[in-house]
Structure 1
Amino acid sequence: MLTSDSYARTGLDALALKPTEHDLDVAASLDVETLALDYEGRAHLPTPATLEALAADRTLHLTAPVRADGFDPLGDDSLLREVPETVALTFVAGHGAYLDEEERARAIAPRLRAALDWHADRANETKPWVGTESVERLALSASEEAVQYDLLGRSTAGEVRAMRRMGFDGDLAVYAPTVLTDDDDALLDALGGYVARRGPVRAALPEDASTDASATGRAREVLLAASRDYALAGTPDDVRDQVESLREAGVDTVVGYPARGLTRFR
């Protein structure tokens, strides 16, 4: 079970959870100041009561895909209006896997603008987050109103340093799958498939290579190296070192996703 001590040792600022993978009843009992709840389709959206319980004694960010029915501020916004005022929002374009063809075709820019305007009228004063995946320029244009929320990559630290040198003073948050183990097989079972989907990693992998603990040779080397570029991995102290490096680069909030579940996040 995740303990306050193990979480504190990592130096993480927040945890990202998926409703289909993490027990939200367990999450409600965690001594964690900030939770970020991912969107995995309408069927898995927690009820308003569950959201209120999770937000009772912490900051809770709920992912809201602005192109999806129910969260579309220029169309069906029924689910958006049901989000309790105690819950903050993370506005994203929305992963194609959770959108139908019509939703994927909707314009992002006007919906993001409308969502931020809607959020400004809420009683919740927590700054919204904007997921930058595939919409970096749109997210950057809203930097005074929202926290930039990006995926960890091999160039993240360098890019953040460059932004800070150029005078960017907006808030930056980074999401990273996190595995607290120094066992290579466990690491690959948890992260291999994820890092293999990243463009540079996919290009470097041998054709038809295994991406889990059964990977060997060149594939294993590439995947293990990528696990350190695109995720936070190792002992809690190892993860803390990685988190501190990101903070030194200029990241304000580091969000860890327990890739092996909460019960193995030790």
Structure 2
Amino acid sequence: MASLNEIKTRIASTKKTSQITSAMQMVSAAKLTKSEGYSARFQIYASKVREVLTHLTANELAELANSDSPNSDINYHSMLQSRPVKKTGYIVITSDGGLVGGYNSSILKQTMSMLESDHDASDEYVLLAIGGTGADFFKTRDMKVAYELRNLSDNPSFDEVRKIVSMTTSMYENQVFDELYVCYNHHVNSLSSQYRVEKMLPISDLDPTEAKEYQEEYIFEPSKEAILDQLLPQYAESLIYGAIIDAKTAEHAAGMTAMKTATDNAKNIIGDLTISYNRARQAAITQEITEIVGGASALE
């Protein structure tokens, strides 16, 4: 049985740990609130870009949806057309560090399971990693990572991820891969997240039936095709950036939950140790009383 001093030392050290995890929980909660607001504001921008694009591409989208052989008179943008899939691109988003519970293990476990079931060889896909945990995970398994991005801020700006986002769309246009998916944890609420694999390229989430009709049509300068050449890659980039923000929000929520669990566990340990301390102290007092009584009896 541990001595009183040992139990007392363990109680003191556990209390210090509890104070640290409690502080980290509050920090993560503040980051989560800020990230949720940032994500909500970004969705306003993304929905507006989607609205404009849907209107501009309504005819092309309807033609592609209703015909196995697209009309050769229509200039379809490469980001709207599916092509034979020779290689698939995956962006895997994880955190850079730990203390986020099962956040990273959930993403990596399910991503590996998907890769093993959907592909027969590693040359059938290209991996891009956002977050040091994912990059290191793949490297230790001798899986080639085409590009990695580490040490993102808590609320990353588009400038921080511009290189990997623009490079990804360029790789698709240059046919390095023929489809692009983003694997990440989607933020549901502060207590839960959901693993997602979302198809980003070719762009397939635009619905021509959602196109709005305006009394006055857009005036295109220099041309509709030139505008789409700029707008479609920007929209694809916004989808990827939106997934990164969503993943960061889920990461903060996971960190807050993990630190709350750690704090609660520390309090439980302190409670158990306090009971052990009181029992040991009571036993020591009883032993002292017994010895005193025994000594007094011997003197009589």
Give TM-score, length-normalised by structure 2: 0.26
Which entry has the higher C-alpha Rg, 1 or 2? 2
